[in-house]
Amino acid sequence: MNDAPAPSRRDTTRPTAPFVETLPSPSALITRRVASDAASVVVAIAGDVGAHDATVLHHWVRTEIDNSRTEQPQIVVVILTEVTSFAPGLPEALHALRRHAREIGVGLHLLDFGRSGLHRILQDERS
């Protein structure tokens, strides 16, 4: 057996492949991927996103944003492209995350290419 500890997110000596984990969520699939240089983290959510899934996503992304204040990654990306439907709590959670990241100076990028309709809601906040 290998007794070596698993590489942590902050360990820059790990192999160059990104570290990927699936986060627990009731109905949506949420994954977290840390870039090999630990300079960014990508959280992707897919499927039907209920209110509880939105809460789970908010918790994990807020944790990444808060960690980014003092250590890497400095950029957090949330991929929403594979969201097929969503409860009203998801846009609210994303708006809160965007405000929080802006307030503490962390780069947060929300990527949606129009399939779910979230892009219209997210654009409205910028207007």
For residue 126, being part of any structural domain is answered with no
Q: What is the pLDDT of residues 39-81, one digit of tens each?
A: 788 999 999 999 999 999 999 999 999 988 776 667 899 999 9
For residue 74, being part of any structural domain is answered with yes
Structural domains in the chain (count): 1
For residue 69, being part of any structural domain is answered with yes
Domain that holds residue 37: 19-111
Give the CATH number, domain containing residue 52. 3.30.750.24
For residue 2, being part of any structural domain is answered with no
**In the numeric block, which tokens belong to residue 126?**
């910028």
Residue 103: helix, strand or coil by DSSP?
Answer: helix
Q: In which band, very low, low, confident or very high, does the pLDDT at 103 lie, cut at 50, 70 and 90?
A: very high
Instruction: Indicate the pTM of the whole model.
Output: 0.77
For residue 3, being part of any structural domain is answered with no
For residue 11, being part of any structural domain is answered with no
Q: Please give the distance of CA 104 from its chain centroid, rounded to a whole number.
A: 17
Closest alpha carbon to 62 in 34, 88, 79, 43:
43
